[in-house]
Amino acid sequence: MVHLGHNKYNKHMKLPEETDYLIVGCGLFGSVLAERISCKLKKKVTIIDKRNHIGGNCYSTIDQETGIEYHQYGTHIFHTNSQEVFRYVSQFTQFNGYYHQVLTTHKNKVYQLPINLETINSFFNVNLKPFEVKAFIEKKVKAIPQPKNLEEKAISLVGEELYEAFIKGYTQKQWNKDPKELPATIINRLPVRFNYDESYFNNGRYQGIPKEGYTAIFQQMLDHPLITTILECDYFEIKDSITVKEKTIYTGPIDRYFEFQLGRLDWRSIRLERKIESVEDYQGTSVMNYADLKDKQTRIHEPRHLHPERSYQKEKTLLFYEYSESNINEPFYPINDDKNKELYRKYKELAMKEKNTLFGGRLGTYSYYDMDQVIAQALKVFDSLKA
Ligand code: UDP
């Protein structure tokens, strides 16, 4: 296993006086473009990040006490249906065959997610067959022709009892908002199935965890003689000290770029609390959700399950309790309610006028993207640069 240091990148690297492309942010969007531009266009790229590591929120590292690799910003499962994206990312890693499954705890009992026939049978203590369940749920569902918010959408899909048990409390904890104030689209991420298919992702044709962890992918992408990577480097402090001959690619929060001149966009963040338990396996799965408000954490991550192919120590296991936070300094998730969507639209108008800067990634486009969507977006932007 490769241990991933950052010897090559640090804040003492000298900022070049000029570059063809300046990329702000060493996350997926920035790193994919750095790799493509250096390899294919043979242009000089300077990529910077204000954090002290590459990889953005995908960053993975080894816990010193247990030797277990974990994802510092919450569990990331790579999944996609796109052959193009899978082929691209497979140049930099093999995947370990991990298949994502999520469970949820409600009233001290564990259920399968996404809501499927097993969840329904177990929750209502029935034994329905796939051809019976639709009629059963339809009796519970309230017909709402055009659901205006997450609550209405969820009730129109699964009815009030399942909504109250598995969605309401979790969503409230996760977003720190009443589900009535949240857009219906968020729930589209969570499918409902009338069979025993418990795979978490609808678009999970290709899925897994990179064999050597996520950080190794970024090391490979950025390992090119035309790329200079500088960490602990704040764009707003250096932007006047470097001449950019072609374009700046900005992947930070879009409102920050424009100095919050139209106001601040709202973001949701998470806080992860590390815990060690003296057992080999604490919860039997990599992610356990907690549906009830009385449990303060939204979920518990147990990263050893992400790498079943590795032989980790048996004496201890590593856990992370996840709590939601609104921390504008660590933006993770955009809050896509009407107010924020409208504000983003205005920032986007400003962004369109910036002829020498391209905006991308979750933060740069205020979008709740999965990793594969960010890669697809970056590859598309690269095609337009080439053209
Ligand atoms: N969700 C829920 N109960 C769960 C898991 C998810 O109600 O146990 C809903 C919730 O509204 C959440 C959305 O589905 O915001 C997306 O959840 P997901 O687990 O995909 O979020 P992510 O992994 O991106 O944080």
Chain segment 58-92, per-residue pLDDT in tens? 999 999 999 999 999 999 999 999 999 999 999 99
Chain segment 331-379, per-residue pLDDT in tens? 889 988 889 999 999 999 999 999 999 999 999 999 999 999 999 999 9
Question: What pLDDT is stored for residue 2 in this prediction?
Answer: 36
C-alpha 273 to ligand 1 mean position (Å): 19
Chain segment 185-221, per-residue pLDDT in tens? 888 777 899 999 999 888 889 999 999 999 999 999 9
C-alpha 171 to ligand 1 mean position (Å): 7
18-77+84-96+207-264+335-386: CATH, from 1.20.120.10, 3.40.50.720, 3.40.50.2300, 3.30.1370.60: 3.40.50.720
C-alpha 6 to ligand 1 mean position (Å): 33
Does residue 222 have its Cβ closer than 6 Å to ligand 1? no
The residue to mutate among 161, 167, 295, having the most atoms of ligand 1 within 8 angstroms of its beta carbon, is: 167
Question: What pLDDT is stored for residue 346 in this prediction?
Answer: 98
Which residue owns the Cα nearest ligand 1 atom 20? 189
Does residue 233 have its Cβ closer than 6 Å to ligand 1? no
Which residues are catalytic, by number?
A: 189, 193, 268, 299, 322, 368, 370
Which atom number of ligand 1 is nearest to the Cα of residue 175?
15
The residue to mutate among 189, 293, 322, having the most atoms of ligand 1 within 8 angstroms of its beta carbon, is: 189
Question: What pLDDT is stored for residue 12 in this prediction?
Answer: 65
Please state the rounded mean pLDDT for residues 275-293. 98
Which residue owns the Cα nearest ligand 1 atom 7? 167
Which residue owns the Cα nearest ligand 1 atom 12? 171
Does residue 38 have its Cβ closer than 6 Å to ligand 1? no
* H/E run at residue 327: none
Chain segment 313-339, per-residue pLDDT in tens? 999 999 999 999 987 678 889 988 889
Instruction: Please give the Cα distance from 80 to 338 (Å, whole number).
Output: 28
Distances in Å between the alpha carbon of 130 and those of 33, 124, 142, 195? Answer: 45, 15, 21, 6
Question: What pLDDT is stored for residue 4 in this prediction?
Answer: 37
Tokens coding 332: 């993770």
C-alpha 40 to ligand 1 mean position (Å): 38
Sketch the domain layout of the chain as residue ranges.
18-77+84-96+207-264+335-386, 102-189
Does residue 289 have its Cβ closer than 6 Å to ligand 1? yes
386 close to 379: Cβ distance less than 8 angstroms: no
What SS3 state is found at 339? helix
CA-wise closest residue to 357 among 209, 236, 249, 211? 249
Average pLDDT over the chain reads 94
What SS3 state is found at 139? helix
Question: What pLDDT is stored for residue 338 in this prediction?
Answer: 87
Which residue owns the Cα nearest ligand 1 atom 21? 189
What own/partner pairs with CB < 8 Å and gap ≥ 24 does 10-15 have? 10/230, 10/231, 10/232, 11/52, 11/230, 11/231, 11/232, 11/233, 13/228, 13/229, 13/230, 13/231, 15/46, 15/48, 15/230, 15/233, 15/238, 15/241, 15/242
Question: What pLDDT is stored for residue 98 in this prediction?
Answer: 96
For the cut 80, the answer to whether the pLDDT of residue 249 exceeds it is yes
Identify the residue with better confidence: 387 or 328. Answer: 387
For the cut 90, the answer to whether the pLDDT of residue 163 exceeds it is yes
